[in-house]
């Protein structure tokens, strides 16, 4: 097993089905919304680059180093487990933003 594969395996271990995560989604537009963070203008000031926090839950941990996550509205995404934009939700996130996290009961 190479060092990169070993690193991926370690990353996969930290996520389990049902774990709440925060995905820091990078976006660009002419008018950032109220939840936008780290807002800065792009070249020529015609649009902005920013980050929006998405509150998702892990639906499945795949053997290939990817995670299947589910959104509050039921959409599913596949993310690389070692994506730097993914963080595990802290207890404070879960308390403050509990309505923005999806439930997994309808997925079972």
State the residue range of the domain holding 31: 3-107
Q: Is the model's pLDDT at 106 over the cut of 50?
A: no
CA distance 53 to 85: 9
Q: Is the model's pLDDT at 6 over the cut of 70?
A: no
Give residue-wise pLDDT tens across range 32-89: 888 888 998 988 878 999 999 888 888 999 989 899 999 888 899 999 988 899 988 8
Q: 6 or 15, which is more confident?
A: 15
Q: Residue 98: pLDDT band by 50, 70, 90 thresholds? A: low
Residues 6+ apart with CB under 8 A from 70: 56, 57, 59, 76, 102, 104, 107
Give yes or no for a contact between 15 and 58, defined as CB atoms under 8 angstroms apart.
Answer: yes
Domain total in the chain: 1
Q: Positive or negative CA dihedral for 63, 53, 92, 102? A: negative
Q: Is the model's pLDDT at 17 over the cut of 50?
A: yes
Give yes or no for a contact between 89 and 55, defined as CB atoms under 8 angstroms apart.
Answer: yes
pTM over 0.75: no
Q: Residue 100: pLDDT band by 50, 70, 90 thresholds? A: low
Q: Positive or negative CA dihedral for 25, 27, 33, 37? A: positive
Nearest CA to 74 out of 34, 101, 35 is that of: 101
């Amino acid at each position: 097993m190479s060092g990169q594969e070993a690193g991926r395996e370690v990353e996969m271990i930290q996520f389990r089905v049902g774990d709440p995560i925060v995905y820091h989604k990078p976006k660009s537009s002419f008018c950032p919304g109220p939840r936008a963070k780290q807002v800065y203008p792009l070249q020529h000031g015609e649009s902005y680059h920013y980050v929006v926090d998405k509150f998702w839950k892990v639906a499945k941990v795949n053997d290939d180093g990817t995670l299947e996550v589910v959104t509050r509205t039921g959409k599913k995404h596949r993310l690389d487990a070692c994506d730097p934009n993914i963080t595990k939700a802290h207890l404070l996130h879960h308390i403050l933003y509990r309505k923005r996290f999806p439930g997994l009961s309808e997925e079972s």
